[in-house]
Amino acid sequence: MNKTQRLIVSALCGAALLAGVAHAAERQLRVYNWADYILPSVPKDFARNTGIKLTWDTFETNESLEAKLLTGNSGYDLVVPSNQFLQTQIKAGVFQKLDKSKLPNWQHLDPALLKLLEANDPGNQYGVPYLYGTVLIGYNPDKVKAALGADAPVDSWELVFNPQNMAKLKSCGVAMLDSPSEILPLALHYLGLDPNSTEAKDYEKATELMLKIRPYVAYFHSAKYMTDIANGDICVAIGYSGSFYQFANRAKEAGNGVVVKWKLPKEGAPIWFDTFAIPKSASNVAEAHEFLNNLLEPKVIAPISDFLGYPNPNKDSMPMVSKEISDDPDLTPTAEAQKKLYVVQPLSQKAERMRTRAWTKIKTGE
């Protein structure tokens, strides 16, 4: 090898070494998750243990996530849609299929719950189930008792859909999720109608009901209610089951004297799954699978359930989860209660536009 050849080889080796270093330095993962929806140590531990640079951004509604996904380039490698939105987005072609050869911990998932999720994700090809729960009523027992008396119907949707109750609760504050896909099915079901209705007359009835209670709703927001109920700034909220468990604990830790309780209404409620999925435009697919496989470790997901107050579909982790969650029928519904739960399905574009118009009318109060 002559001098010139040695220089060329040396240059090529140096370039390869620099490329390798650059590639290692560039390992990263961008995640878009719900606000306050992870045990903070989990992403930190993952980043530290793998050397992957982790960006963790948050959103507040399924609708805002969907709007970003439908642009075709969300900028994220993992996102967390709820099951009914997952179904719509799969049909829209925004996700890529999971490579289950890179997910050996898939074996820990409960086949029965995977079967339920197949209604939205046939063959479980796109979504890794994360947590599941219901939409229910969270409340401050002292303030609700002061407003409505000891017999306040906290175990019924009557608490929030009866205008007479709402008029009395207005003074202590009532909040609702800012999500037509979750509040309007509740109103329809309360009226004895199909929560997945596509009939205009049904949405007219639901809108009429909501407009009767609208003057007494402090605000619609899908995250603010959590801190407000823990601080005692509101007394009732329609929200996600585990969020009340989580922020009841925050109130205890703060020592502010606020008590937060929750009830799965006797009439039933929607059950949902949140899932991790990989957008088709993801740039870091290997890192996404690495994160998902880590999340499927029973010892990793169990403390997330403890922290957030939601059961998870990992059959080998639930024995590790606190009995405060696994044995609480308002958080982990019993087999009997599950008979009254229902799955919210995606609507046709025409029906979705109808629901969106109804929601706009409700929020503006006009």
The domain spanning residue 73 has which CATH number? Answer: 3.40.190.10
pLDDT in the model for residue 25: 56
Is a pLDDT exceeding 50 seen at residue 8?
A: no
Contact status, residue 153 vs residue 160, Cβ threshold 8 Å = no
**Exposure b/e, 105-138, CB count within 10 A at least 16 = b:** bbebbbeebbebbeebbeebebbbbbbbbbbbbb
Per-residue pLDDT band for 115 (boundaries 50, 70, 90) equals confident
Please tell me whether residues 298 and 200 are part of one structural domain: no
CA distance between the termini of the chain = 85
Is a pLDDT exceeding 50 seen at residue 20?
A: no
Please tell me whether residues 221 and 353 are part of one structural domain: yes
Per-residue pLDDT band for 365 (boundaries 50, 70, 90) equals confident
Is a pLDDT exceeding 50 seen at residue 45?
A: yes
Give the span between the Cα atoms of 170 and 275, in whole angstroms: 35
DSSP 346: P
Q: pTM of the prediction? A: 0.77
Per-residue pLDDT band for 79 (boundaries 50, 70, 90) equals very high
Tokens of 333: 């519904």
Is the model more confident about 339 or about 145?
A: 145
Please tell me whether residues 213 and 352 are part of one structural domain: yes
**Structural domain containing residue 240:** 134-271+343-364
Tens digit of each residue's pLDDT (9 = 90 or more) over 199-215: 999 999 999 999 999 99
Tens digit of each residue's pLDDT (9 = 90 or more) over 211-264: 999 999 999 999 999 999 999 999 999 999 989 998 999 999 999 999 999 999
Contact status, residue 328 vs residue 180, Cβ threshold 8 Å = no
| CA 146 distance to own-chain centroid | 32
Please tell me whether residues 128 and 167 are part of one structural domain: no
Residues 6+ apart with CB under 8 A from 130: 80, 273, 274, 275, 276, 295, 312
Please tell me whether residues 169 and 283 are part of one structural domain: no
Alpha helices in the chain (DSSP H): 3-25, 41-50, 62-69, 83-91, 111-117, 141-148, 158-161, 163-169, 180-190, 200-213, 224-231, 241-254, 285-295, 298-308, 323-326, 335-338, 349-364
| CA 224 distance to own-chain centroid | 15
Is position 246 within any domain? Answer: yes
Which residue type does 183 have? I
Contact status, residue 338 vs residue 132, Cβ threshold 8 Å = no
pLDDT in the model for residue 344: 87
Please tell me the total count of domains within the chain. 2
Give the span between the Cα atoms of 87 and 346, in whole angstroms: 7
Is a pLDDT exceeding 80 seen at residue 363?
A: yes
Please tell me whether residues 240 and 301 are part of one structural domain: no
Give the span between the Cα atoms of 12 and 6, in whole angstroms: 10
Is position 252 within any domain? Answer: yes
Is a pLDDT exceeding 60 seen at residue 97?
A: yes
pLDDT in the model for residue 72: 87
DSSP 348: P
Is position 338 within any domain? Answer: no
Main-chain phi, psi angles of 216, to 5 degrees? -105, 0
Is a pLDDT exceeding 50 seen at residue 174?
A: yes
Please tell me whether residues 111 and 85 are part of one structural domain: yes
Share of the chain above pLDDT 70, in %: 93
Tens digit of each residue's pLDDT (9 = 90 or more) over 290-339: 999 999 999 999 999 999 889 999 999 999 999 999 999 999 888 788 88
Please tell me whether residues 22 and 157 are part of one structural domain: no
For 320, the 3-state DSSP assignment is helix
Which residue type does 348 have? S
Is a pLDDT exceeding 80 seen at residue 3?
A: no
Residues 6+ apart with CB under 8 A from 144: 152, 154, 159, 169, 172, 235, 236
